[in-house]
Structure 1
Amino acid sequence: MVATKQPTGRMPGMTTAEEQEKYRQAGSFGAAADAYERGRPPYPPEAVAWLVPDRARTVVDLGAGTGKLTRALRAPGRDVVAVEPSAGMREQFSQVLPDVRVLDGTGESIPLPDSSVDTLVCAQAWHWVNPRRAVPEVARVLRPAGRLGLVWNLRDVSVPWVAELDRILRDYAAAPTEDRQVERVGAPFGSVERQDFRWSHPMTAGEVMAMIGSRSYVITLEPVTREELLARVRTLLDAKRPTEMPYVTECYRAELELP
C-alpha cells in the first residue's frame, strides 16, 4: 500500500452533461446488482481510516450500492446507516448486510434528521449528484465540524495491460465515470484534502468481466455493442491472464465549518 498526498482545492463532482442521461445511467445499476457485488473491489482499510475519524459514532454511506464500503465502515461503537436510491441495490445490500439499516434516498434528499451524522462518505457515486443541491443537504445532516468524505477506486492505468483495457472501454464509452469533471464543494465546508492509496486486489478473469459488466456505461449499451465490447475484453484477459487488479484509491475529505 502506497499513500500519496495530493494538493487540491477541488473535489470531484458531477459532470455538467445532460442530467437525463446521467440519471438513466444511475438507474441502470439495479439491474446489475449481482454483477456489482461480484465485480466491484473493496476499499483499503488505510483509505477508510483516512476518511473517517475515530471520533465518528454515526456514519452514513451515501450511494451505498451493495455495501462494498459499508462493510469497511463498521466498527465497535459505531452506527452505520446506508442510503441508496436503487431498489435492486437495496435488496442485494440487505442480503449481504441484514443487520445494517439501508434507506431509500439520494444525495439531494437524505432521509435523516438535521445534525444527526458525524461523517458522511460517498464512494463511487458523487458524480451522480447535483452538488448545488447535495452539498447543502449533506451539511444539513452533519453535526458541527462533521466530515464529508468522497472516494473512488480507479484502475491504475500506469500498468500496461490495464491501460489497454481502459482504451477498449473508451472505444465504447465517450465519458466513463472515471473521467468526471470537478466541482468545488465550497461553503459551508472548509478546505479539501486529498490522499491517494495504491494497492492491488486479487481478481480472476471472471471477476474482471463482472466488474466491467457492472459499469453503468456498459450496462446501458445496446446488447450487440455490449457483447462486442465484452468479447474484446475477454480476448485481452485470455492473453494477459491477470491474477490481480491494480488500483489507485482517490480520497477527498472536508469538514463542516462552524458558523
Structure 2
Amino acid sequence: MTTASRAHSFNRAAAQYAASRPSYPSALFGTVEELMGRSLAGARVADVGAGTGIATALLRERGADVIGVEPGDGMAAQFRTALPGVPIVRGDGNALPFAHGSLDLITYAQAWHWTDTARSVPEALRVLRPDGALALWWNIAATDVPWIAAQNERIAHHCGVTPPPAARPDDRRAVRLAGLEGLRVARRQVRWSRTVSLDLHLSNVSSHSAFLVLGEAGTEAFLAEERAVLREVFPDERVEEAYEVDLLVVRG
C-alpha cells in the first residue's frame, strides 16, 4: 500500500474523521504563539492538510486570518460543511498555491508526514515572510499509560505493522525525521486528555489509515474484540484518552 493510497483513504471516511478525531488543547496554540514570537490574532495563516478543519477552526478562534489547504475531495467537502465561512483551496504542501513571502504562519496538524520534505520544506520557506514560522504537530497517544501501550501493540499486530517505540525521539532525531535539519527549530510537548464514550473511542481508532486500507471486514473483527477488552478496563464505557502533542516550530 503506497503512502498516497493511505493518505487518500481518509476521503471516504471524512465524516467519521470529523466526528471522532481528537482536537487540540488551547495550550498548544499559546505555545505556537510563544515560539513564533507573535499573536495569532491577525496573522495570515495557511493550515495545510487541513482535512475536516479541526485545527483550522481553532486557529480561527484565536483570531488568525486562516485559509485551509486540502488535496482530498471528501475531506474538503467536510471542511466546507463544518466551516462555511473559511476559505479552502485544493492543494498540498509539495506545491503551495501562495505567492512568495505572503504568509506569517504555515501549520500542519497531523499532516506533515504525508509530504515529500525535499519539496515541502523549500515550499514553506518560499511562501513565508522573513519573520514567519512553520508549525508542525501531532497528537501522539501517551504510551506511558498502560492500557494505551497495550492497545497500540494489538493494533500493530492486527495491521501488520511495527509498533511505535515507547520512547519519543530526542530533539535532534525528531528534527532529522521531519526533514528540518539545518533550520532553526524549537520543540515542545503539550500533554492533555479527553474522556469519550467507548463507541467514539473505537470510531477514532478505526479512522486511522492503517484501518481504512484494511476494509470493513478486518476492521469490524478487530473492533469487536477491542470493545470486549476495553470494557474490562472501562466498565462504564467512558474512555480517558491521553495524548502528548509533539510540536516543532521553524522560525525564518
* TM value normalised by structure 1: 0.84
Q: Does the Cα contact within 8 Å between 2:153 and 2:163 map onto a contact in 1?
A: no
Please tell me the root mean square deviation across aligned C-alpha atoms, in Å. Answer: 2.0
Alignment-mate amino acid for residue 204 of structure 2: M
Question: What is the CA deviation profile of residues 150-197 of structure 1, one whole-angstrom value per residue up to 9, with x for unaligned ones?
Answer: 10001111111111211111112344796798143145xx32111111
Q: How does 1:12-31 map to 2 (within 5 A)?
A: 21-31=2-12
Name whichever structure is richer in helix by fraction: 2
Alignment-mate amino acid for residue 18 of structure 2: E
Are 1:245 and 2:241 counterparts?
yes
Q: Does the Cα contact within 8 Å between 1:176 and 1:217 map onto a contact in 2?
A: no
Aligned match of 1:195: 188
Are 1:36 and 2:17 counterparts?
yes
Q: Does the Cα contact within 8 Å between 1:82 and 1:103 map onto a contact in 2?
A: yes
Report how many residues are paired. Answer: 235
* TM value normalised by structure 2: 0.87
Alignment-mate amino acid for residue 172 of structure 1: H
Q: Does the Cα contact within 8 Å between 2:113 and 2:178 map onto a contact in 1?
A: no
Question: What is the CA deviation profile of residues 39-86 of structure 1, one whole-angstrom value per residue up to 9, with x for unaligned ones?
Answer: 111111111221244345101111011111111111465310110111
Aligned match of 1:115: 101
Give the C-alpha shift of residue 99 in structure 1: 0.5
Alignment-mate amino acid for residue 114 of structure 2: W
User: Is the partner of 2:46 in helix, strand or coil?
Assistant: strand
Classify 1:211/1:178 alpha carbon distance in 2 versus 1 (closer, same or farther; 3 Å): farther
| Structure 2: gaps spanning 5 or more residues | 166-173
Q: How does 1:51-62 map to 2 (within 5 A)?
A: 51-52=32-33, 53=36, 54-56=38-40, 57-62=43-48
Aligned match of 1:126: 112
Alignment-mate amino acid for residue 213 of structure 2: T
Q: Does the Cα contact within 8 Å between 1:123 and 1:151 map onto a contact in 2?
A: yes
| Structure 1: gaps spanning 5 or more residues | 1-19
User: Is the partner of 1:192 in helix, strand or coil?
Assistant: strand
Are 1:78 and 2:79 counterparts?
no
Question: What is the CA deviation profile of residues 130-155 of structure 1, one whole-angstrom value per residue up to 9, with x for unaligned ones?
Answer: 00001111111111121010100011
In 1, Cα distance between the equivalents of 2:111 and 2:233? 30
Q: How does 1:135-214 map to 2 (within 5 A)?
A: 135-175=121-161, 182-186=177-181, 190-214=183-207
Alignment-mate amino acid for residue 203 of structure 2: A
Q: Does the Cα contact within 8 Å between 1:165 and 1:236 map onto a contact in 2?
A: no
In 2, Cα distance between the equivalents of 1:118 and 1:164? 41
Identity between Structure 1 and Structure 2 (%): 33
